Structure 1
């Protein structure tokens, strides 16, 4: 992975900076007035919700904020109210005030008309004429963990890797989606991992992804053809600003989807769209630096101790936070032995079969790679859980289990659950989650995921009809 970039130094929470900076005026001076400004609010599931605001009124976003109901964080993955959360009409369905996230106002290159986009974050009145962060906004959960690390003089340096499938625009004969290379050649012989020919086949689209990332200032790095037909991966450079790194991942998903649609295709971040092919993950590389930007993990014996403690905390809290990494019914289908998706609570050096990997590299690039999350997971929640786990290990001076070598699937390490219901129950009952995310967040998130699970379990699938009719 690339070394940290100098631009990503530790900074104050982006939401605070966004209230003070008139980014819109600078944007207009460079790009002109857009026809619309798309305000983007990632909800509990990472789904982008928001509004289109006329470009001529764009400056009001920074001056006045954007009013959106607080209960948007009580919607399920389909955008329906989960009444059991108790944050909808029974509260009067109050508005919160959303503020722009500094540095996220960018052009939208794939838009058919001149457009800008900006991420926003939710706040609520504090009863004293001011406002405070809305507890259910995942962005604030990550901010809290970053602040805890900063109090120890540590700053996360983070990079995300994102896998996805390019899909044909219409489903196949059985109603299922088809990857772009679905044809008579599909099957195990068509996996074609790392094939340059698969990059060449969709070079115009992939070049447009890279160009859109350049225009938007997203630090895109490597693009590769992955382990399945039509599957690709885009890597992002490390940033020393954890908040910006998570924002990058959210915005990269939107960018890839937008460019794919412009080319008449679809991009899917579904974790396991095909049983016969590899699932799509979101790997997260994390190191900890000191205030000067030096990698604390690479500081000799003390750095190795810190790395071991951080890994120990990630492993010790992994079962309780699994539903943050694998937040969907489909995501648990990805955790298959032998698939390069981890199935055990394990770690090792340069081993892609474990959950937490220490990649090879010089001391200045020493880091931990978290390999569990599905491509559909919420980057801010994933990173918040990783950092909270690291803090647990560092503050309690935990010692990790033995590292695994070779085939981790057969090593006998404790297994991650394959059951979404069990993952939800462990999250809901976790004392650690209550401390790291707060009891109210734990309660609401668990209720929402339980409702999502029930929606799937109440649906009769095609195989049942084929079997019993």
Structure 2
């Protein structure tokens, strides 16, 4: 397991970090302020570089109602965060360690992640980053640190190609008709788009992103970028957010579109968001690798994840489209299951040397909010450790053929399980449980109110 162990800027004093950054980049003219909303969408503003001092001290004003927006950016009044409260401002402070250059910008520009604080200076509970931090703090109180790595899949689409028969933009390599070729792990696919992946690599290095491997995935035009393990779980989530933005912007530079949509095409693989997790003790040792207690702790963590998986599915699969990805035989898990070296299950124990013992959580779609995905995973692991939950038997063969507990296969079912869950209440609080459920109910209502082209061509 390749763990980033060197000191990072996350440990620097904010003023010192800003001073060092400006000394290293004296030509910077502008800054992009970025904050991740409840749906995992980056929102923010552009400002002159002189405003950075305020971001690292008092904070930049943003309305707290940004966390009450649906995936289209529309107000969801049921969240209670909008005009009924006067649409008040919160104060968004710079996240230490997230001040980076923007390599693709036309003029010298910086970017920085923000996190929301309320009027008295306390963290705002509706910020997904705050939700994750509270659960990480619980882990820390147990003497444990999650060490994790994120893998993200995406499609490269080419607007210059003829569209597909349904009008959808075509992926690179995708024929508009006829059988769909599969060329998994093809080096020639990476080589064909060498310029794109070279920029992802180079820009990622300039931004301090711990990019590890890149691979051509299971469908034409589908790729995956993996990040190295980090022993700083908040930084790992930040990296996931920044990686998605980097890929989108590099694709734009090359006249392409990168899509992290969970299931853009019904006949080929969807885009997953896989998380590898181990737990470190106070000395930095992997507790899963302990020859005496490691297997037991690993099993308890798996037990907690299996026990809480149905309730947390809405956090892993937060979009209407995401439930189309969870199809039998698709390598997107459909059951609350686990196994050794088995990619058909929800929680996989990869083949590895003992010192790299870890679990891989495979449920989330690539469009999920990284902060909420990690929060749900860590909270499930805590649940398993505290209650010493024993998991069901490991799945040895094809999990799609086994009688394991089915995950919800529709968004409204996932919402119902989520908003009734005592686990979600304990992990995230009753207020956040209500907030997120209202956002997702609004999304379901919007899709249910839409008459699809297939309906019209069939019945009109």
What is aligned with 1:111?
A: 105
Q: How far 1:179 sits from its partner (Å)?
A: 0.4
Cα distance in 2 for partners of 1:315, 1:240 equals: 24
Deviations along 1:265-324, one digit per CA (max 9) or x if unpaired, are: 000000000001100000000000111111000001301100000000000000001000
> Residue 454 of structure 1 aligns to a residue in which SS?
helix
| 2:157 matches 1:167 | yes
Cα distance in 2 for partners of 1:56, 1:19 equals: 18
Q: How far 1:223 sits from its partner (Å)?
A: 0.2
Deviations along 1:358-389, one digit per CA (max 9) or x if unpaired, are: 00111110001000000000011000000000
Asked if the contact 2:317/2:364 (under 8 Å) is kept, the reply is yes
What is aligned with 2:315?
A: 324
What is aligned with 2:44?
A: 50
What is aligned with 1:210?
A: 201
Cα distance in 1 for partners of 2:319, 2:33 equals: 25
Deviations along 1:208-264, one digit per CA (max 9) or x if unpaired, are: 000010000100000000000000000000000000000000000000000000000
Q: How far 1:64 sits from its partner (Å)?
A: 2.8
Cα distance in 1 for partners of 2:51, 2:263 equals: 42
| Alignment gaps of 5+ in structure 2 | none
| 2:6 matches 1:3 | no
Q: How far 1:65 sits from its partner (Å)?
A: 1.1
What is aligned with 1:274?
A: 265
Q: How far 1:184 sits from its partner (Å)?
A: 5.6
Asked if the contact 1:8/1:241 (under 8 Å) is kept, the reply is no
Equivalent in 225, 232, 240 of residue 241 of structure 1: 232
Asked if the contact 1:18/1:62 (under 8 Å) is kept, the reply is no
What is aligned with 1:147?
A: 137
Asked if the contact 1:186/1:229 (under 8 Å) is kept, the reply is no
What is aligned with 1:88?
A: 82
Cα distance in 2 for partners of 1:241, 1:186 equals: 47
Give matches, 1:363-442, under 5 Å.
363-442=354-433
Cα distance in 2 for partners of 1:117, 1:166 equals: 24
> Residue 395 of structure 1 aligns to a residue in which SS?
helix
> Residue 21 of structure 1 aligns to a residue in which SS?
helix
> Residue 27 of structure 1 aligns to a residue in which SS?
helix
Cα distance in 1 for partners of 2:4, 2:85 equals: 45
What is aligned with 2:291?
A: 300
Deviations along 1:28-79, one digit per CA (max 9) or x if unpaired, are: 1111242210010000011000110112333222133100001110000011
Q: How far 1:95 sits from its partner (Å)?
A: 0.4
Cα distance in 2 for partners of 1:245, 1:23 equals: 19
TM-score (norm 1): 0.95
Cα distance in 2 for partners of 1:157, 1:302 equals: 18
Cα distance in 1 for partners of 2:403, 2:246 equals: 40
| Alignment gaps of 5+ in structure 1 | none
Q: What is the Cα-based RMSD across aligned positions, in Å?
A: 1.5
> Residue 417 of structure 2 aligns to a residue in which SS?
helix
Asked if the contact 1:287/1:367 (under 8 Å) is kept, the reply is yes
What is aligned with 1:201?
A: 192
Cα distance in 2 for partners of 1:216, 1:397 equals: 40
Asked if the contact 1:324/1:385 (under 8 Å) is kept, the reply is yes
Write out the 4+ residue segments of structure 1 that deviate beyond 3 Å after TM superposition. 17-22, 170-174, 184-188
Q: 1:138 to 1:19 in 2, by over 3 A?
A: farther
What is aligned with 1:182?
A: 174
